[in-house]
Amino acid sequence: MPSISIPEDAYQALVAQAAARNIAVEELLRRAVDALPRPSEPSVQESPTNGHPSDMTGDLPYAEWKQVFDGLLARAKSRADRYPPGFRLNDSRETIYEGRGE
C-alpha cells in the first residue's frame, strides 16, 4: 500500500474529522478526493456560470440536453453518501416559511 508523509498537525486534524464522521481516515481522504472536480469538469471558481459550461446558454437538441442532464443527475447522486441514512429533505412551503410571521 502506498503511503504519504504529512505534518503531524494535519494528520491530527484528519483523525478528528474522521472520528466526528465515525469513519476511518482513509475513507475520509477517499471521499475528499472523490469530491474534487475531475480535470475535464469545470470548477465553480473557473466558470462565471456557476460551474456550468458557458457555451450552454441556448436551447440544446434533446440528445445533448439529455446527456448534460444525466451528467448533472449522476453528480448529484454521487453526493448522496454525504447525508445520514434515511435523510429526506422537508422542503414544504410550511417548513420554508416557518417562523416568518405569516
Contact 60, 68 (CB under 8 A): yes
> What's the average model confidence in pLDDT over 65-89?
87
- Give pLDDT tens digits for 28-69: 898 888 888 877 655 555 555 565 555 554 677 888 889 989
Radius of gyration, alpha carbons of the chain: 19
> What's the average model confidence in pLDDT over 7-16?
92
Position 48 scores a pLDDT of 53
Position 15 scores a pLDDT of 92
What is the Cα–Cα distance from 55 to 44, expressed in whole angstroms? 15
Position 8 scores a pLDDT of 93
Average pLDDT, the chain: 81
CA nearest 81: which of 32, 12, 16? 32
pTM exceeds 0.75 for this model: no
Contact 28, 17 (CB under 8 A): yes
